[in-house]
């Protein structure tokens, strides 16, 4: 949990029990009726769809030494999602994109990064720039300083490229030593069959403002 700099998350929240820990969460009666079950699994797990699997990180975890995506990738996750609330600091975007690029370049995979955008009543500005990476290459990137309430970033990726990227024998040796990751099985196809006819999005260069541009654009979004 982020508990330094601008963040004091442990003032309000208790950290989860640990990696790979799962529990059954008891649903309120009205939700249980809609869900069709009294409990649902909650915790640290990989979502296993019919055709692929997804690991999940949250904001601060991307910046840590032993980020969850490392062992999730070794356990077979092909897609990683990160719902983030990363505030703007001068040149922070460069660090953020470098970490995402390294994450899926080394492990192989699709990394979907969604960042908060704008101000939410506190003293921080969140600079958006949601992005999608494939095996270390950017295939979609949102704007960094936007005044739009919502910005949707999409891309078409070929998951076969993830599997082709993960052929190294050295990776296979580490896979054999990786502890089992709990899975939540989702009886649903992640990929729509008609999407197989779409052309994959080509790699694009990262868009990073000059320091002078960040200084000019950042404060303007506060006004």
Classify residue 87 by its DSSP letter. Answer: B
**Same domain for 116 and 20:** no
Same domain? For 146 and 186 the reply is yes
For residues 79 and 92, state if they share a domain: yes
Residues 155 and 126 in one domain: yes
Element (H, E) at 163: helix 159-165
| Cα gap 126→142, rounded to integer Å | 13
* Claim to verify: residue 36 and residue 81 sit in the same structural domain: no
Whether 38 and 52 map to the same domain: the answer is no
Contact 140, 97 (CB under 8 A): no
pLDDT digits (tens, 9 = 90+) for 5-64: 888 889 999 888 888 999 999 999 999 999 899 999 999 999 999 999 999 999 999 999
- Residue 27's contacts (CB-CB under 8 Å, 6 or more residues apart) are 35, 37, 38, 39, 40
Same domain, 28 and 101: no
What are the tens digits of pLDDT across the range 108-165?
Answer: 999 999 999 888 777 788 899 999 999 999 999 999 988 888 899 999 999 999 999 9
pLDDT at 136: 93
pTM for the structure as a whole: 0.91
Instruction: Provide the domain limits for residue 123.
Output: 45-220
Q: Do residues 200 and 90 share a domain?
A: yes
Same domain, residue pair 148 and 50: yes
pLDDT band at 223 (very low <50, low <70, confident <90, very high): low
Q: Are 50 and 188 in contact (CB under 8 A)?
A: yes
Same domain, 75 and 176: yes
pLDDT digits (tens, 9 = 90+) for 63-119: 998 899 999 999 999 999 999 999 888 899 999 999 999 999 988 999 999 999 888
Total domains, the chain: 2
Quick one: 6 and 61 in the same domain? Answer: no
53 lies in the same domain as 106: yes
């Amino acid at each position: 949990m982020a508990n330094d700099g601008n963040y004091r998350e442990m003032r309000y929240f208790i950290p989860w029990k640990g990696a790979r820990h799962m529990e059954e969460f008891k649903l309120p009666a009205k939700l249980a009726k809609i869900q069709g079950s009294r409990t649902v699994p909650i915790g640290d797990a990989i979502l296993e769809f019919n055709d692929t699997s997804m690991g999940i990180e949250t904001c601060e975890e991307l910046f840590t030494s032993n980020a969850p995506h490392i062992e999730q990738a070794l356990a077979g996750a092909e897609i990683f999602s990160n719902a983030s609330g990363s505030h703007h600091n001068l040149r922070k975007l460069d660090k953020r994109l470098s970490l995402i690029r390294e994450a899926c370049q080394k492990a192989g995979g699709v990394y979907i990064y969604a960042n908060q955008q704008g101000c939410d009543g506190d003293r921080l500005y969140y600079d958006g720039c949601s992005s999608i990476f494939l095996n270390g290459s950017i295939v979609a990137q949102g704007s960094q300083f936007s005044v739009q309430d919502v910005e949707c970033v999409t891309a078409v990726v070929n998951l076969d490229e993830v599997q082709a990227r993960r052929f190294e024998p050295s990776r296979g040796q580490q896979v054999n030593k990786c502890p089992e990751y709990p899975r939540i099985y989702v009886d649903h196809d992640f990929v729509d069959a008609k999407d197989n006819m779409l052309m994959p999005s080509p790699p694009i260069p990262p868009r990073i403002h000059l320091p002078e541009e960040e200084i000019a654009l950042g404060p303007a979004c506060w006004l």
